[in-house]
Chain A
Amino acid sequence: MEINSKGVKNMSTSGPVVVMQVPEQFNAGAVQIFMEELGPLLDSNRPRIVLDCSQVRSMDSVGVEALLQCLEEALKRDGDLKLASLSPEAEVILELMRIARVFEAFQTSEEAVRSFNAIPVDAAPQDAPWYSAVFGDLGALKQAS
């Protein structure tokens, strides 16, 4: 576990995957600090983030929105954001807000990290679209037709 410049003991790395602890009270006040921590990671290329939700006891709509925003940012940069060790409270809130199924969730952070490692990062060329591995080059298809 690392202690960052702001004294927050909530982040660790496992290879290219970052595991971060979501605060106990994930509300408007805590979200701001949390986003300041997570923001630089989301700006990186292919961010792979695991949010450990084991400490979460309450979360308001700002917290939920922040999670969605982080996921969106990660996906935008070809990365992903996964949840791990969901506390019952976090689970209830995510189900209530209908976003439980939006996230991939794992029993433990280790499992979540492993799930990233199961897919080789460099399996596909980074600048090629995702469908090129399956359908080939669309340009070639167009020419053929």
Chain B
Amino acid sequence: MVLAAVVIVGPSEWADTSMELSTAKLQLKYGSLACMEVLGRTVLGRTIEELMRGKVHSISVVADFSFSSAVMGEDNVGFSASKDVWRTASEKAASFNADAVLLIRLGAYMEFDAADMLQFHAVHGKPVTRACNDDGWLDLWVIDPKTATGDDDLRRSLQSTAAASYVVSGYVNRLENPRDMRRLVADGFAARCDFRPQASEVKPGIWMAPGAQVERGARIVAPAFIGRNSKIADQCLITRGSNVESNSQVDYGTVIEDSTVLSNTYVGIGLDLSHSIVDGDNLLNLQHGVMLHISDPVVLRQMRDSRVPSGIDGSFLANLDVRNMAMSSAPEKGQ
């Protein structure tokens, strides 16, 4: 049986109708969480890798932003940017010469058995099978390619109550807000899911990716992750489940506690960063529910580094200029 997949990175198919404003706003702000490198690889990258491992023959990624530096080194993975991701997804799904098409919207990080879901779909004989878990529906479907003959048909079919429901028993993190991202990091560290750090475990609970530099006087307390080409300066402390993603720099004497420093971020000297997510010059404090734009480059700033390698083996979206989409309208109170 030939299986293909369309991975959508964009708004959900009912975003403009039934979604509450606050949720929609969050989706708009944080919709690209799946494209941010976390523990060394994006959710999108991990999902594609998992699909390839699950013998999905062709994969198409459709996103609502431009791929500024087209990746990607895999012949059977196609990438396209479109303002109307659902229309494009429909066209892609229809174009596959496959027996069934997996349709995934990221979104959520989901661990599921593609072969098992496909078998379930075949047994039930419905045109659409939709996945769910204890918390409700998931944006994961198996469809017959003929269902995707047009954009409207596809949307109608996906929302159809006649769809067979497949229960995902594996780990699911809906990544609906940045708190979920921190939870995913914690779950990855604790091996509660397959979202494991993409690096060498140099000491129990401490992962360091290639090119990471930690000064002799810095202290890393497990669990912690230091990404590719990141630098941790002297007298720093990285602790309580913190992750410093690729090409970032934490300067002298700064403490990072229970926080995520996203890729290409500079964190200045002598700071105390806790319960936060930092992306360039944007800081989201989860404890106070506050998002700040720090205009002072000696405190926080975006770093540009062309050394980030592209490729499906790494954070293959690291070069894409999408990360700021998540935290651009500061200052603003969150949650």
Binding site for B on A (CB under 8 A): 27, 57-58, 60-61, 88-89, 91-93, 95-98
Interfacial chain B residues near A93, Cβ < 8 Å: 292
Indicate whether A92 sits within 8 Å of B296 (C-beta atoms), given known contacts A57-B331, A97-B271: no
User: Known contacts being A88-B289, A92-B283, is A60 close to B270, with CB within 8 Å?
Assistant: no
Residue pair A96, B273 in contact (C-beta under 8 Å): yes
Q: Is the CB of B296 within 8 A of A88?
A: no
Chain B residues proximal to chain A, CB less than 8 Å: 270-274, 276, 283, 285, 288-290, 292-296, 298-299, 331, 333
Chain A residues, CB < 8 A from B299: 60-61, 96-97
Indicate if the CB atoms of A27 and B288 lie closer than 8 Å.
no
Total inter-chain residue pairs, C-beta < 8 Å? 43
5 other A-B residue contacts (CB within 8 Å) besides A61-B298, A96-B299 = A88-B289, A92-B276, A92-B285, A92-B292, A95-B272
In the complex, A91→B274 CA distance in Å?
Answer: 12
> What is the CB-to-nearest-CB distance from A98 to chain B, in angstroms, rounded to a whole number?
5
Q: A27-B295, A58-B295, A88-B333 are in contact. Are A95 and B289 (CB under 8 A)?
A: no
A58 and B288 in contact, given A88-B333, A96-B272, A96-B273 (Cβ under 8 angstroms): no
B331 touches A89 (CB 8 A): yes
Contact A91 B271 (CB under 8 A): no
Q: Is the CB–CB distance between B290 and A60 below 8 Å? A: no
Contact between A98 and B271 (Cβ–Cβ < 8 Å)? yes
Question: Which residues of B have CB within 8 Å of A88?
Answer: 285, 288-290, 333
Task: Tell me how far the C-beta of A59 lies from the nearest C-beta in chain B, rounded to whole angstroms.
Answer: 9
B292: which A residues are within 8 A, CB to CB? Answer: 58, 89, 92-93
Min C-beta distance of B253 to chain A, whole Å: 9
A88 to B270, CA, bound (A): 21
A91 and B288 contact, CB distance less than 8 A:
yes
Please report the C-alpha to C-alpha distance between residue A91 and residue B293 in the assembled complex, in whole angstroms. Answer: 14
Q: Inside 8 A of B331's CB, which chain A residues have their CB?
A: 57-58, 89
Is the CB–CB distance between B288 and A98 below 8 Å? no
Q: How far is the CA of A96 from the CA of B256 in the complex (A)?
A: 10
A-B contact pairs, 22 of them (CB 8 A): A57-B331, A58-B293, A58-B294, A58-B295, A60-B294, A60-B295, A60-B296, A60-B299, A61-B296, A61-B299, A88-B289, A89-B331, A91-B288, A92-B276, A92-B285, A92-B292, A93-B292, A95-B272, A96-B283, A97-B271, A98-B270, A98-B272
Asked if A92 and B293 sit within 8 Å, CB to CB, the answer is: no
Q: How far is the CB of B261 from chain A (nearest CB, A)?
A: 13
Bound together, the chains give a CA A58 to CA B333 distance in angstroms of 12
How many angstroms from the CA of A118 to the CA of B101 in the assembled complex? Answer: 73
**Docked CA distance A3–B273 (Å):** 38
Cβ–Cβ < 8 Å partners of B295 in chain A: 27, 58, 60
Q: A58-B331, A61-B298 are in contact. Are A92 and B290 (CB under 8 A)?
A: yes
Smallest CB gap from A94: residue in B: B272
The complex places the Cα of A110 from the Cα of B290 at a distance, in Å, of 25
Given known A-B contacts A27-B295, A58-B331, A61-B299, A95 and B290 have beta carbons under 8 A apart: no
- Alpha-carbon distance A95/B270, docked complex (angstroms): 11
Q: In the complex, which residues of chain B have a beta carbon less than 8 angstroms from the beta carbon of A57? A: 331
- Cα A89 to Cα B270 in complex, Å, equals 19
Q: Chain A residues near B288: list those with CB within 8 A.
A: 88, 91-92
User: In whole angstroms, how far apart are the Cα atoms of A135 and B284 in the complex?
Assistant: 50
Chain A residue at minimal CB-CB distance from B287: A92
Q: Nearest residue in A to B285 (C-beta to C-beta)?
A: A92
Please name the 6 residue pairs, one residue from A and one from B, whose CB atoms are nearest each other, closest first: A88-B288, A60-B296, A88-B290, A92-B285, A98-B272, A61-B296
Tell whether, in the assembled complex, residue B290 and residue A89 are in contact, meaning their CB atoms are under 8 Å apart.
Answer: yes
Give the distance in Å from the alpha carbon of A98 to the alpha carbon of B273 in the complex.
9
How distant is the Cα of A92 from the Cα of B133 in the complex, in angstroms? Answer: 37
